[in-house]
Structure 1
C-alpha cells in the first residue's frame, strides 16, 4: 500500500539502473493461457513442418495460423512448457500479445518481455547493447517500439547470446500495430535468411500468416478440423469420466457434445459452451433437451450470443461495461467498488466489503464463463469477446449492447464521482443522476476503504474525463458546462497533468489533452468568454457531442438574432483557444469524432479560424480530414448541407491557393491527398483557380503545377479580364512550366490582349517546340 503523498509527490524518480535486467522486467503474458490437455494438439506437435523447424540447422521462420479459439496460444505456451525447442546452448524466449488487456497489446511491451528474458539469461549483454540508449532517454525507451526493436536486433546478432535463440511471439496480429510488427519480422528474416550459421528461429501465431516469405513454414488450423474434432471428443470423454452423472444424463450430454463438435470444431467454443450443455441437459425434461439440441451454435460469435442471452441481467451488463471500459484491468477490490456504485448504491452498496474470493464467486454466478479473474484482476474471458461486443448489428446482439463504449463511461464515471467525492464537483451524482444521501457518502468514503491506496489511481485519473461524459449524457443541470469549466480554471490545471501521468501509455488522447490544457490556460483568471472557448475546444477534442449539444442553443443551425444574453458557445464556436490552434470543428475533424463534426456543421462553423496567418493555417490544414468534412456537409439536409458545403469548399479552396502561392509542394500534396475524391465531388474550378494562383509565387513550383493538372485543373482556365494561364506561366520565363501546360491541353492560340503574348517571352518558342508546337508569327 502507498499513501497519497507517495502518489502525488513532486520529487523526481530515481535514475534507473542501466545495467540491471530488472529495468526491462515485465510479464510474458503466459498467465492468461493454459497448457494443452493430454492427447490434444498432437496435430501441431507432430506436424512435419514443426519437426523440420526444430531439427533444421538453418535459420527458420514459422507461423501457426488459425481463427480465434483454435488453440494457438495454448500451443505456444505448451511448446515452451514441454521444452520442445530446448537444446544445448540454445535460448528460448516467448511473449504473448492479447487485446484483452491494453498493456499486453502493445508491440513495445512484447519486445520488452523478450529483452527481459534475454538480459536475465545474459546480463552482460545489457551493458553492451542497451545501457547507452537507456541513459539518453530513461524509462521512456520502454514505450518506444523502434528503439526496443533495434536493441533486440543488436542483441541477437551478438555471438555471446549462445549458439542459437528461439523467439516465440503469440498473437502478432493482436498487437496495437500489427503492420509494423509484420514488417519488422520480414526485415529480420531478409537479414538472416542467407546466413550460414543458424542462430535464429522465429515462431509466431496469427489469424493470417500475412508474410510473403518463400521459406515461411505454415501450419493452418483450418486444414485440421477433423483433428480438432478428435481432440474435443477426447476432452468430452475425459470430462464425463470425471463427473458423477447418471447413465441417461451421460448419454444425452455425450450426444450434445457430438453435435457441438460437428457444428463447431473450436476449442474455445467447446470450453465456453460446455457448462451450458450440462445446465440444459442434466435432469431436464426430454422436450426441453430436444429443443436445446436442435440449435447448436455454429460459430464462436453464436456461442457468445447464446451465453449473453442465458445470463442476461442488469448485473451482467454492468460487469461487461466495467471490464470493457476500464482504462486498465481492475483488481477485485476496485471492481467491487465500481460495481456497487454503478448499481445505484442500493442493496449492492456493501458488496465491495466482501472478501475478494466472495466477489470472485459472485462474478462466476453473474457472468458464467464470460469473464475470468487472473492474478486478482478481472478480464473478459477471451479477446474475441471484446470484438463480439463491438460488432453490434452484424450478429444481432441484444439492443442494450448497441453502444457499449458510451455505457462504460456512464457506469464508471458514476463510480468515480460517488467514490472519490471530488471537492471540485458541485454535486455528487449517482448512476441515476440523483444526489447521494449523506449516509451513503460516508459509507463509500469511510475509514474501511483505503481511498489513498495505489490501486485507486484508476479512479483518480479517469474521474474527470468520465464524469463530464456521464453528466452530459444524462440529465443536464442549469450549469450547463460546469464540469468542463472546472477543468479550465488556473487552480485546477496544475492537477491535470499529474492526474494524467498515471494514465497508461496507450491512453495517448488524454495525455495529449493534458499537455494542451497546460499550454492554453493563461496565468491570469479566465473570463467567461475564454472559459467557453476552451470548454468547446475540449468537448470537440474528446468528441463529447452530448456536451456540445447542451452548450449550443436549442435552435442550433438556425439564424438567431443578437440579443442580450446571446449564447456564448454560439458566439465563439469558430474561435480557437489560442493563435495557431484549431477551432472546435477543426479539432473534432482532426481527432475523427465524426458525430461531433456532423453536429457542428449544422451551424455557421468552419474548420479553420478566419483571418489566420497563412503559415499557421497551412500547417493546421494538412492535418484535417477534408474528405470527411465534404462528405458530412453534403449529407446534411438541403438547406443546411448547401451552406455547410459552400463554407467547407471555400476554406479548402483558400487553403489550396495559399499553398500554391507559398511554392511549397508538401502543403499541396497534403491537401490533395486528404481532400475530396474526384469521383465523388467535382472541384475542377477549385483546382483550376489554384493552378492560376500557383503562378503568383516568385518562383512557381513545377511539382505543384503537375499535381494540380493531374487532379483535373483546366490548363485553359482564365479569370475574368485576366491573363491566360499560359501567359501567367510564360512571364516567369521557365520553360518547364509552359511545357507542362501545353502537354495538359493548354491552347496556344488564346490570348488575353493584356500585354505580350505567351510565346514572346524569352525561351518560350523553344518550349513550344519541345511540347510539339510550331510558332508561326502573324
Structure 2
C-alpha cells in the first residue's frame, strides 16, 4: 500500500530555497516532477520486479487537499506558512501496474500530504483504508500458506511464520474469496488497454482553456448541434472556424460538460495538435477512442478483439484499418449503446492520415446498412479540400461555422466575445489596480472593434496590459494602434521583448522540441553552453524554476504559456507565424527575401533546421558532460531519447564542430556512450547490442557522423551486432536513405 508516494515526483519549488546550493539540492531535485532519472530508474526496477499477475495487489492512495509550503518569516526563519499546493498529484501517487488502474486500487483521501496516513480509530477516512488492509492481511496469510507448503515439499526448513494448514486459519469461504482474481482473459484485456495508450490524450485535452461562463451557448442551442446530439442513430457534424475562433475550447467544453450528461452514452475524444508527432496520427486517435470506450464498457472487449493481442501484437495498434474496423464493428453491437467521438482540429492531422480518416468516416455514414449509434463531431479550419474529401457524403455533411452564418448568429457570437472581453478586462483591472471607470473605458474601447476573435482578444489585451503608465490617454493611444490581425499582435508581443536574441533561442527550442519541455528543463536548456562540464560551471547561469517562469513571461509575453509545468505556444497559429514551412524554406521564398523590409520582423523567422541544431547541441553538450553522473538530471531523459533525432533533422555538415561530440556519443567504448545508451536501450525495442560505432550512427541515420567514420578507412562496414545485423541493415530498417546510400557506395 502506497500513501502519497511520489512515484513520478512532487512539487519541490518550496524546498529548493531551503537547501540552496548545498549537498542536499541534488537529492531534492531527484524527487522533482521534471522527468527525474532517479525516479524513472526506480519505476523501471519496480515494474521489473513486480510486473506479473498473481495474488499480489497494489493499492495507492493520493491526497486531494493542498499542503502548506515553507517560507521565511520576518525573522528569517522557515515556517510552513507559504502558499498551499497539492504536493503529490494523483498521477504521481499512482504506483499500480496497468491492470490495477481502477477506482478499487487508486483511492483519494481528502487530506493534505502531511496527514494522509494519520488516522484515529473512528476516523471516517480510515473506513476507506481498513477493508483494503484487512483483505491484504487475509491474502498475505494465503500467500504464506502456499509458500510454506512449497518449501515443505522441497524439503526446506520453514522459519519465521508458523505453517498454516488447510482449513486451520483460512476457511474454505475465505479461500474462495482470496483466490487469485486474474484469468488469462483479464491479462489480455489489460495488455490491450496498455497497447492502446499511445499518447496522453487527457493531458492534451486539458491544455486548452476553460470557456468563460456564458460562452459556447449559441453553439449548444444551434439546431444542427441539437439534431446531432438528440439523433437516435449514427450521425456526423462538422464544425469549422478560422484560427482563433475557439474550436478547441468548445470541444473541451462539449467533452467535459455537455455530452457526458446522458448515462447511456459513452463520450470519447482526441485533440489533434501539430506540435508533437503522437498528436498528428489518425491511428493514435482511434487507439485513444477505443481505450476510452473499453474502459467505460468493458463488456465490449469481445474475445475476437483480445485474440489480436496474441495474433497481431503491436501491429494491431499500428494499423488504421484494423482499428477502424474494430470500432465500427463494436459500435454495431446491440449492447454498445450510443458512442460519441469528438475529434478536434482535424486539419492538424498528418495529410495522409487525415485522408484515411475522412474516407473511412465518409464510407461509414454513406452506408445504407449502418444501424449503430456511432456519432462523430469533427472540428477543423474551413478548408475546401477537407470538404471535398467527404465526397462520398455528397451534400449530406451538416456543418456549423463558428464565425456564424447570418446576422443573428454573428450577433450571438459577438455577444459571447464581449463576455470574454469583460472577463479579461476584470483580470487586467485587478492586476493593474484600475478604477471602475477605467475598466469600463477599456472594455468599451475593445468592444467597438469589428471582426474580433477569441485569440485576437487575448493577444490584444496582453499588448495593452503591458503598456507603461496605465492611463486613459495611454489606453486610447494604444487602442488607436491596436493590432489589426493576429499576426500583428504576435509581432507586437515579441517585439517588446527586452532580449530578442534570448527570446529567439527559447522559441527555437519550443518549436523544435519532440515533447513539451518543463520549466526546469527549459531553464537548463537555455543556460547550458559547450564549455559547461559540471554543475559548478552552469550554476551561475541557471535560474531557479520560479524565477525562470517570470523570465519566460518577460521574454515572450503571452506567446508561450505554462500548463502543469509544461511549456507550450499559445496557439497553433503562433507556430505557423514563427516557423517557415520546409517547402518554402529556400532562397526563392518571398518571405525570406523581403524579411528585412517587412514590418513583421518575427514572421517566418525560424527555420526548422536551425531550431533542431540548437536543441541537438544542448542535448549533446549535456550528455558529454559530467551532468549525467552528478546532476542536475532534469534534462537527462529528454537528451537521451532525442539528441539523435535533433542532430539528424538539423542537416548538420560533417565538418561542423558538434559532429566530433556526436561521434563520441556513438563510440561504443566511451564513457558518454555507456551512460546514455544504458538508459536508452532500457526503453527502446530492437536497439543494437554489442555493436560498432558505425552501427550506432547508422541506426540513428546520422550521415554527418557516418561519412567521416567511413573516410577513416578503419571501420568494418559489415560489422555485426549481437543480433547479427550490419550497419546497412539498421539504416535500411529505420528508413535512413542517406546513410544507406553512403554505406552502399563503399562497395563492401
Shorter-chain TM-score: which interval? 0.5 to 0.7
| Matching of residue 270 in structure 1 with residue 460 in structure 2 | no
Alpha-carbon shift at residue 205 of structure 1 (Å): 0.8
Deviations 1:309-342, CA, capped at 9 Å, x for gaps: 1225233222212221222222233222212215
CA distance in 2, matches of 1:202, 1:156: 12
Q: SS at 2:404's partner residue?
A: helix
CA distance in 2, matches of 1:230, 1:400: 32
CA distance in 1, matches of 2:423, 2:42: 52
Q: Residues 364, 102 of structure 1: CA spacing in aligned structure 2 closer, same or farther, 3 A cutoff?
A: farther
| Matching of residue 151 in structure 1 with residue 326 in structure 2 | yes
State how 1:343-422 maps to structure 2 within 5 Å.
Answer: 349-350=539-540, 352=542, 354=544, 356-391=545-580, 394=591, 396=598, 398=601, 402-422=605-625
CA distance in 2, matches of 1:325, 1:461: 14
CA distance in 1, matches of 2:438, 2:298: 58
| Matching of residue 169 in structure 1 with residue 339 in structure 2 | no
CA distance in 1, matches of 2:437, 2:529: 44
CA distance in 2, matches of 1:542, 1:319: 25
Cα contact 2:270–2:342 (8 A) shared by 1: yes
**Partner of residue 640, structure 1:** none
Q: Which has the larger radius of gyration?
A: 1
Q: Residues 606, 342 of structure 1: CA spacing in aligned structure 2 closer, same or farther, 3 A cutoff?
A: closer
Deviations 1:19-44, CA, capped at 9 Å, x for gaps: 23752454333211233222222331
**Partner of residue 420, structure 2:** 235
| Matching of residue 81 in structure 1 with residue 251 in structure 2 | no
| Matching of residue 187 in structure 1 with residue 377 in structure 2 | no
Q: Which has the higher contact order (CA 8 A, sep 6+)?
A: 2
What is the TM-score of this pair, normalised by structure 2? Answer: 0.59
Equivalent of 1:310, from 475, 492, 496? 496
Q: Which of 152-161 and 274-283 deviates more? A: 274-283
**Partner of residue 18, structure 1:** 188
What is the TM-score of this pair, normalised by structure 1? Answer: 0.57
**Partner of residue 764, structure 1:** none
CA distance in 1, matches of 2:218, 2:276: 30
CA distance in 2, matches of 1:113, 1:534: 33
**Partner of residue 459, structure 1:** 639
The two structures, once aligned, show a CA RMSD in angstroms of: 4.8
Q: Which of 480-489 and 139-148 deviates more? A: 480-489
Cα contact 2:342–2:378 (8 A) shared by 1: yes
CA distance in 1, matches of 2:681, 2:305: 25
Alpha-carbon shift at residue 290 of structure 1 (Å): 5.8
CA distance in 2, matches of 1:481, 1:75: 47
Alpha-carbon shift at residue 121 of structure 1 (Å): 1.2
**Partner of residue 132, structure 1:** 307
Cα contact 1:461–1:503 (8 A) shared by 2: no
Cα contact 2:272–2:346 (8 A) shared by 1: yes
**Partner of residue 737, structure 1:** none
Cα contact 2:491–2:602 (8 A) shared by 1: no
Deviations 1:248-307, CA, capped at 9 Å, x for gaps: 643652354135x42x42112211221212323852584x65653344333323322222
CA distance in 2, matches of 1:157, 1:358: 55
Alpha-carbon shift at residue 247 of structure 1 (Å): 5.8
Q: Please, which runs of 5 or more residues in structure 2 have no aligned partner?
A: 1-35, 53-97, 99-186, 582-589
Cα contact 1:342–1:412 (8 A) shared by 2: no
State how 1:84-95 maps to structure 2 within 5 Å.
Answer: 84=259, 86-95=261-270
CA distance in 2, matches of 1:241, 1:400: 31
**Partner of residue 292, structure 1:** 478
Cα contact 2:193–2:291 (8 A) shared by 1: yes
Cα contact 2:270–2:285 (8 A) shared by 1: yes
Cα contact 2:509–2:614 (8 A) shared by 1: yes
Q: SS at 1:222's partner residue?
A: coil
| Matching of residue 36 in structure 1 with residue 211 in structure 2 | yes
Alpha-carbon shift at residue 51 of structure 1 (Å): 1.5
Cα contact 1:65–1:218 (8 A) shared by 2: yes
CA distance in 1, matches of 2:575, 2:411: 28
Q: Please, which runs of 5 or more residues in structure 1 have no aligned partner?
A: 423-440, 505-510, 552-566, 598-604, 613-778
Deviations 1:387-416, CA, capped at 9 Å, x for gaps: 222237648553796344233334323432
Q: Residues 408, 12 of structure 1: CA spacing in aligned structure 2 closer, same or farther, 3 A cutoff?
A: farther
CA distance in 2, matches of 1:238, 1:285: 19
CA distance in 1, matches of 2:683, 2:576: 23
CA distance in 1, matches of 2:358, 2:307: 27
Cα contact 1:129–1:155 (8 A) shared by 2: no
Q: Residues 229, 218 of structure 1: CA spacing in aligned structure 2 closer, same or farther, 3 A cutoff?
A: same
Cα contact 2:459–2:486 (8 A) shared by 1: no
Cα contact 1:323–1:380 (8 A) shared by 2: yes
Deviations 1:346-367, CA, capped at 9 Å, x for gaps: 997356562x444333323332
Equivalent of 1:221, from 402, 417, 432? 402
CA distance in 2, matches of 1:482, 1:7: 34
CA distance in 2, matches of 1:412, 1:56: 50
Q: Residues 108, 71 of structure 1: CA spacing in aligned structure 2 closer, same or farther, 3 A cutoff?
A: same
CA distance in 1, matches of 2:651, 2:234: 58
Q: SS at 2:403's partner residue?
A: helix
Deviations 1:698-721, CA, capped at 9 Å, x for gaps: xxxxxxxxxxxxxxxxxxxxxxxx
CA distance in 1, matches of 2:717, 2:523: 42
Q: Which of 150-159 and 44-53 deviates more? A: 150-159
| Matching of residue 321 in structure 1 with residue 508 in structure 2 | yes
Alpha-carbon shift at residue 381 of structure 1 (Å): 1.6
CA distance in 2, matches of 1:142, 1:69: 33
Cα contact 2:424–2:461 (8 A) shared by 1: no
Equivalent of 2:243, from 64, 68, 75? 68
Alpha-carbon shift at residue 115 of structure 1 (Å): 1.6
Q: SS at 1:329's partner residue?
A: coil
Alpha-carbon shift at residue 233 of structure 1 (Å): 1.9
Q: Residues 255, 592 of structure 1: CA spacing in aligned structure 2 closer, same or farther, 3 A cutoff?
A: farther
Deviations 1:508-565, CA, capped at 9 Å, x for gaps: xxx9xx97x889x77xxx8xxxx6x997x789x5575xx79x96xxxxxxxxxxxxxx
CA distance in 1, matches of 2:603, 2:244: 26
CA distance in 2, matches of 1:159, 1:241: 51
Deviations 1:463-514, CA, capped at 9 Å, x for gaps: 355568889679945xx9644654665647999987655889xxxxxx9xx9
Cα contact 1:372–1:380 (8 A) shared by 2: yes
CA distance in 2, matches of 1:310, 1:189: 51
CA distance in 1, matches of 2:249, 2:696: 50
Q: SS at 1:324's partner residue?
A: helix
State how 1:88-127 maps to structure 2 within 5 Å.
Answer: 88-127=263-302
Alpha-carbon shift at residue 76 of structure 1 (Å): 1.5
State how 1:653-664 maps to structure 2 within 5 Å.
Answer: none
Alpha-carbon shift at residue 64 of structure 1 (Å): 0.5
Cα contact 2:189–2:301 (8 A) shared by 1: yes
